[in-house]
Amino acid sequence: MSEIRYDKLHNKYVIIAPERLHRPNLVKQEPLESEKENCPFCEGHEEFTPPEIFALRDNRANTPGWRTRVVPNLYKAVQIEEKNISQRDGFFEYVKGFGAHEIIIDTPCHECRFSALSQQEIFDWLLTLNIRITDLTKDKRIISVNIFKNSGQNAGASQQHPHTQIIALPIMPQNALEFLQRNQEYYSIHGRGIVQDMVHNEKEAKVRVIDETGIFTAYCPYASFFSFEVIIAPGKVISNVSHCSQEELKDLAQILKNVFSMLDTQLDAYDYNISFHIAPVNKNFENEKYMNDIAENFSFYLRIMPRLYTLAGFELSAETAINGVAPEVCAKLLRGN
């Protein structure tokens, strides 16, 4: 029997419909055409990218010998050189394309799956993200920092080499602004944030939790938009991943490695997205009424979304997913019991 579930985190409905599990529209995994000798992200090809913004290395910039590397996106959606000025276009309004669009090259390894990275390599990746968040936050025009990873063609990646993107904007995305409002309303009633209580509930229920490491819990959310979707969140209030201590970052690296090992065991080859949901990094007219309580009620989280099915007309028009595998079943399979 199917169920219509409400996702309190993202304010969307999901239809859990096991009957549709065997429909013939599984996404076929087509390898990206990205030969190592032509890959701009591979070690030794530093001249194929714009000059690096940052790198974890012990030698000269823009040379081999790095562990992670950050470069401007060659096909940037926004650019830091633009002025952040609102303009009128008749009835409409726009802002010049101000912002930052960066590529984090996760590892020198061209074909490494996430689970194949060591805890130290994942820690280096997280540390790099944190350093870039901290640096971008210094520009008070930057309001939101959006971090996401596309892996595989069906998840929107155009390069096979493991990489992550950062898009920093002078605005609040509408879904992030709506969450701030809902989270503030929840906090005013309960004295806790939504993510904080959600993690507590999952740990108490024990049904959808797949791993716990340090302060972090990984679980398949009650109203999973994607089959085998996983959320990783801290058990205490931390508004931004860049606020994690070194030990907490090591634990986050370990739980990420554990989760991807579980996913690889169950799904074999699959494309996926990762998104980081963090608090606004600076104040503006949109978010200022929520910022005073951010440190008390906002917990960041990571969302891992395997792309096993193609999103079709219903999902796009109704903004409601049809998920063929109940999260309770996914969690059980991932735990291996």
Can you tell me the distance from the alpha carbon of 73 to that of 158, in angstroms, rounded to the nearest whole number?
A: 12
Beta strands 100-105; 272-277: pairing state: unpaired
Q: Can you read off the two tokens belonging to residue 273? A: 């997205």
**pLDDT the model gives residue 75:** 85
Q: What are the Cα distances from residue 281, in Å, to 243, 276, 277?
A: 11, 13, 12
Q: What's the CATH code of the domain at 97?
A: 3.30.428.10
Measure CA 270 to chain center: 17
User: Please, what is the end-to-end C-alpha distance for the chain in angstroms?
Assistant: 23
- What is the model's pLDDT at position 83? 75
SS3 327: helix
CA distance 115 to 103: 21
pLDDT along the chain (337 residues), means of 10: 82 78 52 73 96 97 97 88 78 82 96 95 98 97 96 89 95 94 97 97 97 98 96 97 98 98 94 97 96 96 93 79 91 93
Q: Write down the pLDDT at residue 202.
A: 97
Residues 6+ apart with CB under 8 A from 158: 32
Q: Which domain holds residue 309?
A: 3-335
Number of domains within the chain: 1
pTM reported for the whole predicted model: 0.92
Tokens 């986050």 correspond to what residue? 252
Closest CA to 271 of 10, 13, 28, 24: 28
Q: What is the pLDDT of residue 117?
A: 97
Structure tokens at 37: 């000798």
**Which pLDDT score is estimated for 319?**
78
- Answer yes or no: are the C-beta atoms of 44 and 63 closer than 8 Å: no
20: buried, middle or exposed (CB in 10 Å: 19+, 13-18, 0-12)?
A: middle
